[in-house]
Amino acid sequence: MENNQPRMPLLGDKMPELTVQTTHGVKQIPGDFAGKWLVLFSHPGDFTPVCTTEFVAFANRAEEFKKLNAELCGHSIDQVFSHIKWVEWIEEKLNVKIPFPVIADDMGNIAKSLGMIHPGKGTNTVRAVYVIDPDGILRLMIYYPQEIGRQVDEVLRALKALQISDANKVAMPENWPNNELIKDKVIIPPPKDVAAIESRQQFEGPDWWFKYKEL
């Protein structure tokens, strides 16, 4: 039987061009963010406690994302007036200004096209994070269930790690820059042939396939 469900995007895919209504007006994603990193994140619904804590955390770190040439953009299956009132409530009650746009996907088409909705979970989106690079390529996805709030610092850490990996052609260890084994050092990618093994002897590490260096 033919499956007509939209395919969830995969890492390395070009993000589909989407025209979206946001609290900051109509946007083209990822086109309007070309040349910048984009952190697109969904939440199950406005005026909900866990989502509110997440929005506050993203807002409080917005300048840190901006320093990394990254823009933030929220999303949920709510109408734009609901987003606007919720953002106003956060500023009035919690004294936190939300500086980034929030997509109003009241028909759910964007959520469906990006795999944010599980068929058995109604219309609420999961807590998805998509990190899109300056060329519009999907580089990282993180999914959380509705019941568990994200750690925004992990999104920030992952973005930094991606950028350093790209710039230096290295891999990043677990919990970089605070790895239990090699601290803030970065990993030399595995050799592609026998001849490349010799050139790796200059680097620190317990064996030829596990080498690392200071950044």
Q: Which of 29, 39, 51, 159 is catalytic?
A: 51
- Contact assessment for residue 149 and residue 142, using Cβ atoms and an 8 Å cutoff: no
Annotation marks residue 73 as catalytic: no
Q: Would you state the structure tokens that stand for residue 43, as one six-digit string?
A: 């939440």
CA separation for the pair 91, 158 (Å, rounded): 28
Q: Please state whether 110 falls in left (phi above 0), alpha (psi between -120 and 50) or beta.
A: alpha
CA separation for the pair 70, 120 (Å, rounded): 33
Catalytic residues: 51
